[in-house]
Homo-oligomer: A and B are copies of this chain.
Amino acid sequence: MPSIVAEKVQQAVAILRELDLDCWLTFVRETTETGDPVLPLILGQPLTWQSALIITKTGETIAIVGKYEDEAVRSSGGGGVWTKVLPYVQSIRSPLTTTLARLNPRQIAVNFSTDDVKADGLSHGMMLLLREYLAGSPFAERLVSAGPVIRALRGRKSPGEVERIKHAIAVGDEIFESVARFAKAGMSEKAIADFMHAEVERRKITTSWEWAQCPIVTTGPKSMVGHAAPSNDLTIEPGHIFHLDFGVRVDEYCSDIQRSWYVPHPHENKPGETNPPETVQRGFDTVLRAIQAAFDTLKPGTPGWQVDAAARKVIVDAGYPEHQHATGHGVGRAAHDGGIVLGPKWERYGQTPTYPVEPGHVLTLELGIENLDGRGYLGLEEMVLVTDCGAEWLSVPQTTMMLLR
């Protein structure tokens, strides 16, 4: 079995051919501090001094790195991935310009992008340095964004990557099941988060996004929707909607799932009664239909905004307020893993909603209604894999409004 690094570097060569790009340059330094998100895919280790990783359409893989990292780069990905390693001591300028002069690429795709943070690892200071090194050569005019290369590379998951994501979802499901048994009316959001954190630590894994805000716990009308940390003061109460947004990173790959429960109220639910109030049920059914509507649009070639529009229409047509975020995003080594956004063409999403869905994309479908019937946020989030002719569910979708007992 090739390592994921070996798999992805080979995939990168194929993508350069497909895009007819001569050369892809990843230019980085001190990556433990400000890492380039593409580095784990093509190298799998940090770099310290100014370093250039060059992949060509013809299949050359050249790493120009600080002297002390020579050996580590040679053995990355099990060895043999970076076939030419050029260590330097005083300055990268000479080996970099000499290498580019030999390759003489028509274009140099560089690791920056206005729209895709996962393809935007080059700092502005490093871009200024690169331009200075290339000043006077023809290459200064041949720099283009590597966004399309990186978007394809990150977005199109290899079978090995899909297996890892499935595993993360399965582990996350275990924790959702545990917390559903644990959670009771009267508990604070913080107590729920602490319980889930203990489940994460017990498994020696991490959360898919920042620890303090993963899970996001919301309960009742006063709970902030979005990225606030779970509250000590807000408690689960009868009549509330109780909602979790949570994911785990296992073997470097992530899940990102939302689940919602109704907390039965003694005045509304007789003992043994299993239905949430009609207003809550109608909200749940609408969210479920919206996610299904998004799912039904998924096939190679559909632009992200069309997937979003299908879901958004269901919410708005049912008379609920329009959600103020995208319907979905890529997932991979991070909960938000770059490339396409299944969202409206709002400026903050840049070009990302115009990108087409491709086979191998792993995406979320996530929708919700804020403060439904004064009872809190009702939200669901599922994960799907785009196939050659449509999509398949990676998560087991929530299809009934669960009751928290």
Contacts and interface: CB of A to CB of B under 8 A. Distances in A.
A148 interface: no
A324 B45 CA distance: 22
Residue of A68, A92, A209 with highest tally of chain B CB at under 10 A? A68
Contacts of A324: 67, 89
Interface in A123-174: 123-129, 132, 145
A112 B124 contact: yes
Report how many copies the assembly holds: 2
A226 interface: yes
Contacts of A145: 125
Given A117-B29, A126-B124, A347 B93 contact: yes
A77 interface: no
Contacts of A396: none
A187 to B, nearest CB: 21
Given A50-B348, A210-B32, A68 B225 contact: yes
Contacts of A89: 324
A30 B349 CA distance: 12
B125 A123 contact: no
A279 interface: no
A227 B70 CA distance: 9
Chain A, interface residues (CB within 8 Å), range: 35 or more
A195 interface: no
Contacts of A199: none
Interface stretch (A33-41, A291-299, A386-394): A33-41
A398 interface: no
A46 B209 CA distance: 10
A114 B90 contact: no
Contacts of A227: 48, 68-69, 72
Given A32-B209, A129-B114, A348 B91 contact: yes
A92 B348 contact: yes
Given A30-B117, A72-B228, 5 more contacts: A34-B121, A71-B224, A89-B324, A112-B128, A119-B125
Interface of A: 29-30, 32-37, 45-46, 48-50, 66-69, 71-72, 89-93, 112-129, 132, 145, 209-210, 212, 224-229, 324, 334, 336, 346-348
18 contacts: A30-B117, A30-B336, A33-B37, A33-B117, A46-B210, A66-B348, A68-B225, A68-B226, A69-B227, A72-B227, A89-B324, A91-B348, A93-B347, A112-B125, A119-B125, A120-B124, A120-B126, A122-B123
